[in-house]
A and B are shown apart, each in its own frame.
Chain A
Amino acid sequence: MEKNNQKNNIDERVIIAGFGGQGVMLMGKILAQAGMLAGLNVTWIPKYGAEVRGGTAHCMVRISHKPIASPLVEFPTAIIVLNKPSLVKFENKVRPQGTVIVNSSLIDEKVTRDDVKVYYVPCTLLANQLGDVKGSNMVALGALVASWGFLNIDVVKEALKHMLPAYRHKYIPLNQKALDEGAHAITNA
């Protein structure tokens, strides 16, 4: 019952940004899939222009208990930034009281605003310790989900199965560990 009450005022607008190749598109898709599995309305839009691996890319995810009108995110309630250019680009767009997840392994700068909740998570380092640097995106996603609390991390783990093609399913356990690692970084903070 408590959970249902919580779901009645969900209206998250998320921007996930990083270098092309860091897995920002996939993170957004998994987040959207998890939101859908949790019974919420979701949209996902990629934004990469003509950029290539190594350029900057971002995606926009909306998760809401109400039907979603515009799928665009102009002023996010939460951002995940995996590299420095993304922090510079989006820091000032975040709504007051919004959430900022910073990959502190690759970003040495601090967030300059004091009206947002900031979590510095060494995503790249933590993923490396788990054995695969490619899991750093899942560490960051686990951190965001844990900071929210309305989306169960198990639903996000379930979403991996839907979003990854069958030939990549062997990587699911590692990705699930990475999600947990990110969540722990928040709950232990």
Chain B
Amino acid sequence: MKVLTNGNEAIAEAAVQAGCRFYAGYPITPQNEIPGYFARRMPEVKGTFIQSESEIAAINMVFGAAVAGARCMTSSSGPGISLKQEGISYIAACQLPVVIVNMMRGGPGLGDVSPAQSDYFQATKGGGHGDYHMIVFAPEDVQEAYTLTFNAFNYADYYRNPVMILGDGILGQMMEPIEQVNPSFELPLPEKDYILDGCRGREARSMMSLFLREGELERHNAILQEKYKRIQEELCLVEMVDVDQSDVVIVAYGTVARICNTVMREASNEGIKVGLIRPITLWPFPAKQIYDKVKNNAKVLVVEMSAGQMLEDVKLALNGKANIDFLGRMGGGIPLVVDILKKVVSMKGDS
């Protein structure tokens, strides 16, 4: 049965369905429906909802909950996610399965409450200190927000790694009909043999992100990098539509990819073939799939609600193989179909 729900509430319910029983967060638009939903829902499933005193407190609360073995989540937007970075770095260092939601708003600074995609660098390149990566999922609609969040908990446990759901204000607040069907997850989840839940009857464990002995931290980093390499080999998700036979290939993610879907339809009415590449994992970035699919000297247009952040990953992925152009809006601006279409027409014309 379909229900009409918004992206934020779909994410919160998916978390509950995935067994998340601990949420801590501090309010900020445009993601307030997430804590709002948990405040009602967590008591029903005997879980814990905490409106913390700050974003920093919230990330450290989920840090603790993950150490104790709970499936847990925190969420925020732009400025709040910046505050959480120290905690995220510690969580990555301790290899803990935490799910973090960022419904991006316009920045920098306190910015505005309009949708944006300008936290891409922060999410994919390691917004905190040290060599680490989160897995980053970028859903394009409410259904996918539900599905990816559900499996974010599985991937977090499977890889023992923090996972971010990276959406924007539109995805969070948009209502659409969805089927609340929990997706399957085929991979075997490892036993949580690292958690600190009392050592009666077993050897004591400890968990730290401080490694002071000679060479110890470098060895720890090597373990992390090996895991990141494995994730890059195993988990690149991307949707590619009509890339082969196109005049122009658009690369876009999240809400912008949906807008570009409309561009595809309208361009085809004008006799222009537009292909679409939509990365679903932003880290690991599906560089190999994109390189293999895009033809030599193809015309590629990257569209983002930023000054050009994913653009850099597309350039790295294609490595000089194609002609790359960019269209972006900043500070809460949303790329319009008419503007993208105009760009596509002019790109097709330049032969």
Interface residues of A (CB under 8 A from B): 29, 32-33, 36, 41-46, 49-50, 68-72, 74, 162-163
Listed by A's residue number, 5 A-B pairs whose Cβ atoms lie within 8 Å are A42-B4, A43-B176, A49-B113, A71-B176, A71-B258
Asked if B175 is at the interface (CB within 8 A of a chain A CB), the reply is yes
**Is B173 touching A69 in the complex (CB atoms < 8 A)?**
no
- Chain B residues lying within 8 Å of A29, measured Cβ to Cβ, are 4, 175
Of the listed residues B29, B173, B175, the one surrounded by the most CB atoms of chain A closer than 10 A to its CB is B175
With A42-B177, A43-B176 given, is the CB distance from A74 to B170 under 8 Å?
A: no
**Is B259 touching A70 in the complex (CB atoms < 8 A)?**
yes
**Is B265 touching A32 in the complex (CB atoms < 8 A)?**
no
**Is A74 touching B173 in the complex (CB atoms < 8 A)?**
no
Cβ contact of B262, chosen from A32, A41, A70, A163, cutoff 8 A: A70
CA–CA, A74 and B261, complex, Å: 15
Asked if B114 is at the interface (CB within 8 A of a chain A CB), the reply is yes
**Is A74 touching B4 in the complex (CB atoms < 8 A)?**
no
- Chain A residues lying within 8 Å of B174, measured Cβ to Cβ, are 43-45, 71
Nearest residue (CB) in A for B261 is: A69
Interface residues of B (CB under 8 A from A): 2, 4, 29, 112-114, 170, 173-177, 255, 258-259, 261-262, 264-265, 334, 336-338
- Chain B residues lying within 8 Å of A69, measured Cβ to Cβ, are 258-259, 261-262, 264-265
Nearest residue (CB) in B for A51 is: B113
With A49-B113, A70-B258, A70-B262 given, is the CB distance from A36 to B173 under 8 Å?
A: no
A13 to chain B, nearest CB (A): 11
**Is A36 touching B4 in the complex (CB atoms < 8 A)?**
yes
CA–CA, A117 and B350, complex, Å: 41
**Is B258 touching A74 in the complex (CB atoms < 8 A)?**
no
Closest 10 A-B residue pairs measured CB to CB?
A: A69-B261, A70-B262, A44-B175, A69-B262, A70-B259, A36-B177, A45-B174, A43-B176, A70-B258, A33-B4
